[in-house]
Amino acid sequence: MNGTALQAALHDIIDNHNVQSYSSLHTHFQSTDRKANGTVWDMYSDVPGGTPPYVYNFTAGDQCGNYGGEGDCYNREHSWPKSWFNDMSPMYSDLFHLYPTDGYVNGKRNNFPYGTVPSPVWTSQNGSKLGLCNYPGYSGTVFEPIDEYKGDLARTYFYMSTRYYNEDSGWPGSPMVTGSQLKPWALAMMKEWHLSDPVSNKEIDRNNAVYQIQNNRNPFIDHPEYVAQIWGGSTASVQYVYNTDISVYPVPATDFCIIDHSGYYNNDKLVVTLTDITGRTYTSDITFTTDEIRVNTQALKKGFYFVSISESGKYPAFARMVK
């Protein structure tokens, strides 16, 4: 089973969850979004592997309230903005897309779509960005979270598209979605984010915690492969195909890696992104010939890396590189 048939089947499994009141969410966050040190897990201020610029505790004094800048208080963000579904229930309080986030950063994000921002007009203290989108298919204002949480939000959106599949009558939508379904440009981007930032222990723990409250799960955390099975094939609700005519050598890549695309892409329009398995982006010396991309790997640590290759109007490609 794949495509819309699988999406519909998953919808039937996770439908009719135990709806929570909006006022109860601050209490639920204490089990769904608590760090090991007891503080609030805010994806808009967290610095994985580093020191966050500020932290919040699960106290009424840290809840918004009014704010004048970052670090003042946290609130309940609809990562899928509530205006996109006309403030309706049960999605209004569905924990799978509601997160505790800094009030000021949440206000900056507003109801803009997620996207990629090369030249931000504003940047949060943890590196989240606001500005014009450069992802093929959309050029309006978007909000870009840090790489470490892009997969989390992509799987959140896949959940919303499945939980509310054929339950989106009256949803106004947005530049990113039509009803509960991602538009083609957004679907392509979210699939990239899903692949570059795999499921983390944070997501697994949160999925389990929300299940105890709502009695439903995010199937794309339990089974990440469902994303490709629903949206990656010819029977999918939106067809999106990857270019698989790619070869990579040598393996392992000691000083350099060659990615042969057989001349499918034009060098002057090509966008190449290098990430590790955690989704962290790396810069490297990259050169091009007619058929090949040469990536200098001397400065990279040993491990697995992903190279995404895209050109507007052509199928993207993903290559796995081993150092």
pLDDT tens digits for 240-276? 455 667 888 898 888 889 988 888 888 887 888 887 7
End-to-end CA distance of the chain: 36
Q: Does residue 15 share a domain with residue 146?
A: yes
CATH (domain of 279): 2.60.40.1220
Tokens at residue 250, please?
Answer: 């040598």
Same domain, 69 and 103: yes
**pLDDT tens, residue order, the chain (323 aa):** 789 999 999 999 999 999 999 999 999 999 999 999 999 999 999 999 999 999 999 999 999 989 999 999 999 999 999 999 999 999 999 999 999 999 999 999 999 999 999 999 999 999 999 999 999 999 999 999 999 999 999 999 999 999 999 999 999 999 999 999 999 999 999 999 999 999 999 999 999 999 999 999 999 999 999 999 999 833 233 344 556 678 888 988 888 899 888 888 888 878 888 877 555 778 888 998 888 899 998 988 888 787 878 776 677 777 778 88
CB 125 within 8 A of CB 145: no
Domain assignment of residue 144, yes or no: yes
Q: Where are the alpha helices (DSSP H) in 51-200?
A: 103-109, 150-163, 184-196
Give the global pTM.
0.73
- 251 and 227 assigned to the same domain: no
Q: Are 131 and 173 in a shared domain?
A: yes
Residues 171 and 317 in one domain: no
Q: Is residue 147 part of a domain?
A: yes
Q: Is the peptide bond before 250 cis (omega within 30 degrees of 0)?
A: yes
Residues 181 and 279 in one domain: no
The reported pLDDT for the residue numbered 11 is 97
Residue 96 sits at the vertex; the CA angle it makes with 94 and 177, to the nearest 5 degrees, is: 85
Determine the structural domain holding residue 19 and report its residue range: 3-231
Residues 277 and 182 in one domain: no
What is the number of structural domains in the chain?
2
Whether 111 and 259 share a structural domain: no
* Whether residues 133 and 16 fall in one domain: yes
Which residue in this structure is represented by tokens 């509310």? Answer: 164
pLDDT for residue 238: 37
Asked which of 231, 262, 277 is the last residue of a domain, the reply is 231
Indicate whether 175 and 309 sit together in one domain.
no
Reference 311, options 250, 262, 268, 280; nearest CA is 268
Same domain, 210 and 304: no
pLDDT at 278: 55
* 201 assigned to some structural domain: yes
What single-letter amino acid sits at 225? Answer: E
Q: Does one domain contain both 273 and 201?
A: no
pLDDT of 217 reads 95
Residue 191 to residue 239: CA distance in whole angstroms: 12
* Residue 28 Rama label (left phi>0; alpha psi -120 to 50; beta): alpha
